[in-house]
Structure 1
Amino acid sequence: MYWTEFLTVALIHLLAVASPGPDFAIVVRESVGYGRRAGLFTAFGVGTGILVHVTYSLLGIGLIVSQSIVLFNALKWLAAAYLLYIGIKALRARPADPAGAELNLAAGERSGRGAFVTGFITNGLNPKATLFFLSLFTVVINPHTPVAVQAGYGLYLALATAFWFCLVAWLFSQQRVRAGFARMGHWFDRLMGTVLVGIGVKLALTEMR
């Protein structure tokens, strides 16, 4: 009975998650910099962040945030500040010792918890995700659809997001890919830092519509 609605939700989500954004940038950076384990934990963090958006959308809190300029701006500035912080740290990356490049590539230190939290915060604080899920749960999904079914949609969205970014992590954490980026060393970090700072600035300038 709800298959048509579910397929619509799934298609919209696929188009949204496949477009590069802060989640993509942070998963790539973690995967290249620290390896597959860190990339996968970051992907799981991003997927879990989706559950935050789903939860408040089901509770109606997302509608309150979307109608409150103060709350929206608070969320926007928190997200922008976090992305700018990560980006500026990457921009300050220094050239690595060529003799130790391979060793550092193989033994990059990054806890699973740290990678997970990075992915979770990056997604959870994104106000654009707030507006996306609000529109999804108020416009695309029929308000008469049972809450249990809507929660099922939300669980799918979280799992699909995690799966997508696990694929991204797997691709960018391959030894050949990492070795190629390692040869660029600090230039890659600076490039990703520029991307993150750019996204942070764009986010900070976003106005509620």
Structure 2
Amino acid sequence: MTLAAFATVALIHLLAAISPGPSFVVSVRTAIAEGFPTATALALGFGIGAAVWAAAALAGLALLFELVPALYLSLKLVGAAFLLYIAVSMWRHAPKPLPAADARPPRGTLAAMRLGILTFITNPKAAIFFGAIFVGLVPAGTSLPWLAALVAIVFFNETLWYIVVARVFSLPRARAAYGRAKSWIDRSLGTLLAAFGLKVALT
């Protein structure tokens, strides 16, 4: 594998990570409502989830999904149900006031990482995405160090981007604006997340 091919994979994935999706919605909501440390742990969870799917795609899981469509469909439905669950939770808790800035966050580090991993891992489209990239850009017989580097850059891109999102949306001004319109914002983000869930299930 050439350095140019590696850089191309890294750039394509970074652009994909930046594009808004379910992870972005969950990250924004967590950063504003629970603060930077919790949202950073969430970002690490996203990075781990992305790395798992990248490794699975390199191992041939994307091809397995093509050979066994029922497996892919089952994972899609599970992923959609998980996103809808989060959306419903947002709607249910929308009227609750925002906790004080110095209050203990409702989610600990491990719980936030777990949410990040589950949010990412329940979207099997990630395996298809990585599989499509790797098929065209990763030559057969690529050495293990290069494969490990690919998984590492996927983890780095995903985690770094969502740490940036966490920093921006955890600033006091963002938190204050969110506090003034929490019910409306939570329901809007919940609706958007539900739409992503339905998209996962139907496409």
Pair 1:168–1:94, CA change in 2 (3 A): closer
Aligned to 2:122: 125
CA–CA distance in structure 2, aligned partners of residues 30 and 132 of structure 1: 26
Kindly indicate whether the alpha-carbon contact (under 8 Å) linking 2:17 and 2:157 is maintained by their aligned counterparts in 1.
no
Aligned to 1:189: 186
Shift of 1:51: 1.7
CA–CA distance in structure 2, aligned partners of residues 94 and 197 of structure 1: 15
CA–CA distance in structure 2, aligned partners of residues 203 and 88 of structure 1: 16
Shift of 1:67: 2.6
CA–CA distance in structure 2, aligned partners of residues 147 and 94 of structure 1: 47
Kindly indicate whether the alpha-carbon contact (under 8 Å) linking 2:58 and 2:131 is maintained by their aligned counterparts in 1.
no
Give the alignment's Cα RMSD to 1 decimal.
1.5
TM-score (norm 1): 0.91
Counting aligned pairs with the same residue, the percent is 36
One-letter amino acid matched to 2:28? V
Asked if 1:104 is matched to 2:97, the reply is no
One-letter amino acid matched to 2:143? P
Kindly indicate whether the alpha-carbon contact (under 8 Å) linking 2:61 and 2:127 is maintained by their aligned counterparts in 1.
no
One-letter amino acid matched to 1:33? A
CA–CA distance in structure 2, aligned partners of residues 96 and 58 of structure 1: 44
Kindly indicate whether the alpha-carbon contact (under 8 Å) linking 1:33 and 1:105 is maintained by their aligned counterparts in 2.
no
Aligned to 1:78: 78
Kindly indicate whether the alpha-carbon contact (under 8 Å) linking 2:58 and 2:134 is maintained by their aligned counterparts in 1.
yes
Aligned to 1:141: 138
Aligned to 1:17: 17
Shift of 1:71: 0.6
One-letter amino acid matched to 1:104? A
Number of equivalenced pairs: 202
Shift of 1:61: 2.5
Aligned to 1:203: 200
TM-score (norm 2): 0.93
Cα offsets for 1:92-118 (capped at 9, x unmatched): 234345xxx5x5344242111111111
CA–CA distance in structure 1, aligned partners of residues 134 and 144 of structure 2: 11
Q: State which drifts further: 57-66 or 73-82.
A: 57-66
Aligned to 1:68: 68
Does the residue aligned with 2:62 lie in a helix, a strand or coil?
A: helix
CA–CA distance in structure 1, aligned partners of residues 94 and 2 of structure 2: 53
